[in-house]
Amino acid sequence: MAPKKSATSSGTTSSSSSTTASASAALSNASSSAAKSASSGAQQIDQVALSLVQHYQKATPQRTKLIDAFMAFLVVVGALQFAYCVLAGNYPFNAFLSGFSATVGQFVLTASLRIQTTEANKSEFPSVSPERAFADYVVGSMILHFFCINFIN
Amino acid sequence: MKFLVSFLVLVFAAVAQAISSSGSRLLVILEDVAEKAGYSKFLADLEGRGFDIAYETPKSESLSLFHLGERSYDHILFLPTKSKGLGPNLTPNILLQFINANGNILLTLSSSTATPSSIVSLLLELDIYLPADRQGLVVDHFNYDALSASEKHDVLLLQPPGALRAGVKDFFSDASVIAFPNGMGQTLGEGALLAPVLRAPATGYSYNPKEQTETVDDLFASGSQLSLVSTMQARNSARFTVVGSADMLSDKWFDAKVKKVGEKDTVKTGNQEFAKAISGWAFKETGVLRVNWVEHHLNEEGAGNASNPKIYRIKNDVTYSISLSEYSWDKYIPFTVPESDDLQLEFSMLSAFHRLKLNPTISSADSTTYSSSFKLPDQHGIFNFMVNYKRPFFTNVVEKNTVSVRHFAHDEWPRSFAISGAWPWLAGIGATVTGWLAFCTVWLYSAPAATRESKKTR
């Protein structure tokens, strides 16, 4: 029992020493490349972004891209309305609620359309075809518009 | 003929009304009916003003203030009586009932006769206090009549009282100098219903003449805390008046000549004028306010201005008017608010949301119309137009008209496009809807060929 014990203990010590060695090596490596990485970090991020965009352009279907463009448009419109409310005050409040919630609601509906029509989520919605999803989306949007126009008076 | 008769009836009715505003039946209580000779001028004055005077002694069996639950008399005048009590027909309770039934009482005291216990109890009930042992004599060593009271100093010569305070109408200052002989003073409690008319001068005091001591040990009251003529007007506007000296109403002092100590000239007393003023007030010939009508309406352009609608909307412009008359001896005259006082309108729900001054607008021969225009508060609920005018020596005016105030109806709000501040959000909705339409169009025309292939492959 005793030798075994000693062996394990020696083993652990050796392993620990080896890890410290590797750590120190990594440290030296990092310190040596610190200046290099600072300059190249931006480049790496650029590369990552570039590859991301390239991948998005290559792998995303046309309709999903369309949805994304529309959602970006809604974000811009919603931000403008909210900024106006902050800057100019919320009178008449029902108009603010109506305008802002129309944009936000439209965003939410569009997001659900995107979820339901993405190829990758097909297994989640076996019974919802893209056409069916779009029809739901149209009906939901029209109800939303009806309420918002009514509420803004 | 018929017309003539009805005309005569009308004329008589008008004449009959041309006295006190609250009836002409006056009961005079005195020890002995023969005593009325001593007050003949005062009583003749009252009769001349249209009162039907009945004389009774407190011991009289037939005396009853009520008959079948109704008052038998409109006013009571108490002249001093010698008896210790007033008998079973004039208990304090009955007298209070008389006041509650809108009857007016003028009570006179005298220091030479002990005040009946019934009266003392009644006064205590009204928060008016008499000296202990019902004995008290008001003297003043600086304002006495040198002709009649050079020894005892118990005939006070007083100047007319003037207004009680700023903003209170003065009814009692017609007289010149007022002689107050042989009188008993009172002190008044804190109640808002009590108001002194005549107060003792700063050097006057009350003492017990039965005590044979050189110095006054325990002073009942002195100076202006000693009220010589006091009034109490109940919440139903019934009036109770205490005159500390019955002698000041007697013939002897109506035309007595007096000379104030330290002055050279002898003058005639103004007791007759003062007696007229105080009895006129006590029996509701002066200071009686009448509300002729109350009217309120919508004060907005293009709106029908029907009178006294039951319902208004929040933020409506509204005009409220109230017409008031004041009774003065034999007729109604336009009521004018005393200087430095305001007639106010409250628009209240539990508490007042508005308290506004009412300004005189229309004045006619016998009434003044006060009105005020204002915007209703931004609060819906059940509101009252309230005029609550309670002032010393005027009868109380409490007029409460309840209206509902509703909120805006759904179609009374301005349209969003009428408010320029809402245009950005209208544009926001527009952008969202057009963007959505464009999106849908593009979506329909962007059906991917790949899907068909995928379907085929599938």
Query: Is A38 a residue whose pLDDT tops 80?
Result: no
Claim to verify: residue B273 and residue B294 sit in the same structural domain: no
Q: Are residues A85 and A52 in the same domain?
A: no
Tokens for B298, please give them.
Answer: 């919508």
Quick one: B314 and B451 in the same domain? no
pLDDT for the residue numbered B102:
92
Please list every residue in chain B whose beta carbon sits closer than 8 Å to the beta carbon of residue A138.
Answer: 440
Query: What ranges in B153-204 are assigned the alpha helix state H?
Result: none
Confidence of residue B6 (pLDDT cuts 50, 70, 90): low
| Number of domain units in chain A | 2
| Residue B432 and residue B394 in one domain | no
Chain A residue with Cα closest to B442 = A66
Which residue is closest to B419 within chain A, CA to CA? A92
Peptide bond between residue A92 and the one before it cis (omega within 30 degrees of 0): yes
Residue B199 to residue B240: CA distance in whole angstroms? 17
Looking at the structure, tell me whether residues A74 and A139 fall in a common domain: yes
> What local confidence, expressed as pLDDT, does residue B182 receive?
87
Report the C-alpha gap between B10 and B33 in whole angstroms. Answer: 35
Residues from chain B contacting residue A103 (CB–CB below 8 Å): 428, 431-432
Q: Domain span at residue A84? A: 60-153
User: Is residue A130 domain-shared with residue A70, that is, in the same domain?
Assistant: yes
Copy the structure tokens of residue B41.
């001028």
Interface-testing mutation among A68, A82, A90, A103, with chain B (most B C-beta atoms within 10 A): A103
User: CB distance B429–A74 less than 8 Å?
Assistant: no
Q: Is the pLDDT of residue A13 over 60?
A: no
What average pLDDT does the segment B267-292 reach?
91
B450 contact residues in A (CB cutoff 8 A): 61
Asked if B393 contacts B299 with a C-beta cutoff of 8 angstroms, the reply is no
pLDDT digits (tens, 9 = 90+) for B206-246: 888 777 666 666 778 888 899 999 999 999 999 999 999 98
Residue, of B99 and A33, whose pLDDT is higher? B99
For residue A128, pLDDT beyond 70: yes
Are B239 and B318 contained in the same domain?
Answer: no
A26 shares a domain with A65: no
pLDDT at A7 exceeding the cut of 60: no
Q: Whole-number mean pLDDT of chain B?
A: 86
Taking one residue from A and the other from B, the number of pairs with CB-CB distance under 8 angstroms is 88
Instruction: Identify whether residues B330 and B448 lie together within a single domain.
Output: no
The model's pLDDT over A46-60, given as tens digits with 9 standing for 90+, comes to: 999 999 999 988 888
Distance CA(A152)–CA(A150), nearest Å, equals 6
Alpha-carbon span B354 to B348, nearest angstrom: 7
Say if residue B418's pLDDT is above 50: yes
Lowest mean pLDDT among B110-119, B378-387, B398-407, B431-440: B110-119
On whether residue B7 sits in a domain, the answer given is: no
* Nearest residue, CB atoms, A62 vs list B428, B436, B446: B446
Classify residue B4: in a domain, yes or no: no
* A66 plus A135 within the same structural domain: yes
What does the pLDDT average to over B166-175?
A: 86
Residue B41 to residue B63: CA distance in whole angstroms: 25
Coil, strand, or helix at residue B320?
strand
Question: A101-115, B53-67, B431-445 — which is least confidently predicted?
Answer: B53-67
Q: Is residue A20's pLDDT more than 50?
A: no
pLDDT, tens digit (0-9, with 9 covering 90-100), for B55-73:
988 888 888 889 898 999 9
Residue A123 and residue A99 share a domain: yes
Give the domain extent around B329.
Answer: 288-411
Do residues B300 and B276 both lie within one domain? no
ipTM of the prediction: 0.73
- We report the CATH number of the domain holding residue B356 as 2.60.40.1930
Could you tell me the two tokens for A146? 């009806």
